[in-house]
Amino acid sequence: MTFEYGDSDLPTGTMAGGSSQTASIIAAVTAAHEVLLKEMLKLAGNESPLSGLRAKDVESRDGGIGHRQDPGRHESYVAILRRAGRDEVSAEAAAPMPAEMIKYSMHSYAAQFCEARVSDVTGEVRISRWLGSFDTGRIVNPKTAASQFRGGIIMGLGLALTEETLFDERSGRIMNPSLAEYHVPVHLDVPRIEVMWNDIPDPHSPMGVHGIGEIGITGVGAAVANAVYNATGKRVRELPITLDKLL
């Protein structure tokens, strides 16, 4: 099996945005795989352990095709092709319209929790603990998913505490146009960030996945603002939460 993407010779594909890429690519691969399974079962013939099975009864595993419920009914792709006298089999299919565009509404969800410390002398805010809990369908790659969640939380901390574009009202010029004046969080600015997820596949989504591109950011600003309110009694409704808004 080969996979090609990002070549100008190929037709237009899904954009890398809106948390759509993984689900879109999986949908196309799944559609082609279903066509391939049907073709391979035809080639398998009556001498195969797969004889009499339909595409919905089997799955691809261990270099071949096997019954979903009976591990003993399995045959390799090589064996099927050799018996059929074929060198290769190809299958093409187009992904169907996403179910969320037709019938269902499918979103990712998160709950964010933090502990904030506020100096009663300077008004400086420090976030000392963080936990993000996520419901994002099946997690395809736990390592990259955890990195995505943590990265989003760090971006949210910048939104909540440090990042603000300042304009000169007379000229409209941006007064902090570089990272020397526009402050984004670095490692020393953030606490240890714990993340967790339920990993429950969505039955209406390709392979049960949801997008996780932006969900790490969602709710971070509100969690910080609520923690600061609990610590100081001051409700800040305009981000970032800077010293002048607390003193």
pLDDT in tens, 56-114: 899 999 999 999 999 889 999 999 999 999 998 888 888 777 666 667 777 889 999 99
Q: Please say if 214 is a catalytic residue.
A: yes
Domain that holds residue 180: 106-245
Angle at alpha carbon of residue 206, lines to 111 and 154, rounded to 5°: 30
Give the pLDDT confidence score for residue 18 in this predicted structure.
62
Look at residue 215 and tell me if it is in a domain: yes
Look at residue 14 and tell me if it is in a domain: no
In the listed set 57, 81, 98, which residue is the last one of a domain according to the structure? 98
Look at residue 211 and tell me if it is in a domain: yes
Give the pLDDT confidence score for residue 198 in this predicted structure.
95
Look at residue 13 and tell me if it is in a domain: no
Look at residue 236 and tell me if it is in a domain: yes
- Both 127 and 233 in one domain: the answer is yes
In the listed set 98, 124, 146, which residue is the last one of a domain according to the structure? 98
Round to whole Å and give the CA distance between 33 and 229: 53
Q: Which candidate in 75, 164, 214, 238 is catalytic?
A: 214
Look at residue 2 and tell me if it is in a domain: no
Look at residue 9 and tell me if it is in a domain: no
Round to whole Å and give the CA distance between 56 and 53: 8
Look at residue 36 and tell me if it is in a domain: yes
Domain count, the chain: 2
- Both 165 and 183 in one domain: the answer is yes
Round to whole Å and give the CA distance between 154 and 131: 12
Q: pTM score, two decimals?
A: 0.80
